[in-house]
Amino acid sequence: MSTDFNAALETRLTRYAAIDSQSDETSPTAPSTQIQFDMLNLLRDELTAIGAQEVQLTDYGVVLATIPGTVQAPTVGFLAHVDTAPQFNATGVKPRVIKGYNGGDITFPDDPDLVLSPDDHPYLAEKIGHDLITASGTTLLGADDKAGVAILMTMAEHLLQNPDAPRPPIRIAFTPDEEIGRGVQPQLEQDLGADFAYTLDGGKVGEIEYESFSADRAIVRITGVSIHPGFAKGRMVNAIHLASKIIQILPQATMTPETTDGRDGFIHATDMQGGSSEMEIRFILRDFERVGLEAKGTLLRAVCAAVAATEPRAEITCEISHQYRNMRYWLETDMTPVDLARDACRDLGVTPVSVPIRGGTDGSRLTEFGTPTPNIFTGMQCIHGPLEWISVQDMSLATQMCLRLAARAAATPK
């Protein structure tokens, strides 16, 4: 099996990363942005061109395709998402390749003050001699998850060019809106038709992840009393002040993303907008356990109620909705897909590592719907910001691992 995937992966990722496909949490559509179709249509056409079968773009924005199996074995799914994170600028991405990284600081042409240093990022220090891909300094790169897209397209092309290589039936899915927790619609589980699956959406080489946060979303709406400020004494109720009280009362030192790590969850205010008459605060709630997630929702509601009690003329509502749940709850009952991935990793001489994801993947939702879906490394680092980078050689290892995984799955009884 040829393992010379570097050129194909570099070409694909730099091409994909230059396409703006950012998702938008405030949009009600599926996908949330029309620009994601620029990626989805491209991938549908590329899959068709390389000879994949049953290629389709669903009405809910997922590209699906089949790579026929050569043996009777469980059908295996592979997924990656096309959208990029809304937290940072993703328009006008200019990918660049640093050949044979020399181990020093990396600077950025569009922001001379920005520095990516191995002193601050120890994993970078391990990549001397690798070919690295970054953006130019004013945007994210989008390796999350266009690296996963590039890896799966390269794997698919290799398998289709080697029709006799042992493999199970394989289903490919490219999803939208993963970054806003809406990448997996309920019908995808049936449409994918896999016995188990994998997302290519992880970080360091060797990471095989089967535990994620459980997640809810919360929207707090505050309606005050609006009146001309010149005549407001005793009459105005300023919604901004009430919103500020809610933020201040919530635990700042122990329950925010910047004060937690490991297995600690958090309440994160992601957006606040409005004015003195009306305000809206958006939160995400995260915990590895259901009971902890429920407790955070209870706390947020209690804080809103306490602030509302200080000003009966105001109206404060707190709406909490389900996003996804820790995939461990289902995967721990049957670790077969995780064990297969670990064995495939060892086949490459790489020690598998499993750590809880302080986030979620499409696999969190898909596992909850009934298709066990752990997460596999791509090599992406410093995601969701201007320092984002990835090693082409790490991506090549991920591609090789997917091929080894397919070969091992081919030997699994149907």
Rounded distance between C-alpha atoms, residue 397 and residue 127, angstroms: 13
Task: Give the closest residue to 71 by CA, choosing from 192, 151, 3, 163.
Answer: 163
Contacts of 4 (CB under 8 A, 6+ apart): none
Mark whether 157 is an active-site residue: no
Taking the alpha carbons of 378, 138, 28, 321 in that order, is the dihedral positive or negative? positive
Instruction: Name the token pair of 241.
Output: 């002040």
339: part of which helix (H) or strand (E)? Answer: helix 336-347
DSSP codes, 49-81: HHT-EEEEE-TTS-EEEEE--SSS---EEEEEE
384 assigned binding-site residue: yes
144 assigned binding-site residue: yes
Mark whether 25 is an active-site residue: no
Instruction: Name the token pair of 346.
Output: 């060892």
| SS3 state of residue 270 | strand
Catalytic residue among 83, 131, 189, 311: 83
DSSP codes, 155-170: HHHHHHH-TTS----E
Q: DSSP alpha helices (H): ranges in 94-238?
A: 122-125, 143-161, 188-192
CB atoms within 10 A of CB 339: 14
| SS3 state of residue 199 | strand
Give the residue carrying structure tokens 């979620």: 360
Task: Give the closest residue to 373 by CA, choosing from 410, 407, 312, 328.
Answer: 328
Catalytic residue among 10, 131, 177, 178: 178
201 assigned binding-site residue: yes
| SS3 state of residue 144 | helix
Annotated binding site: 81, 144, 179, 201, 384
Which residues have a catalytic role annotated? 83, 178
Annotated binding site for Zn(2+): 81, 144, 179, 201, 384
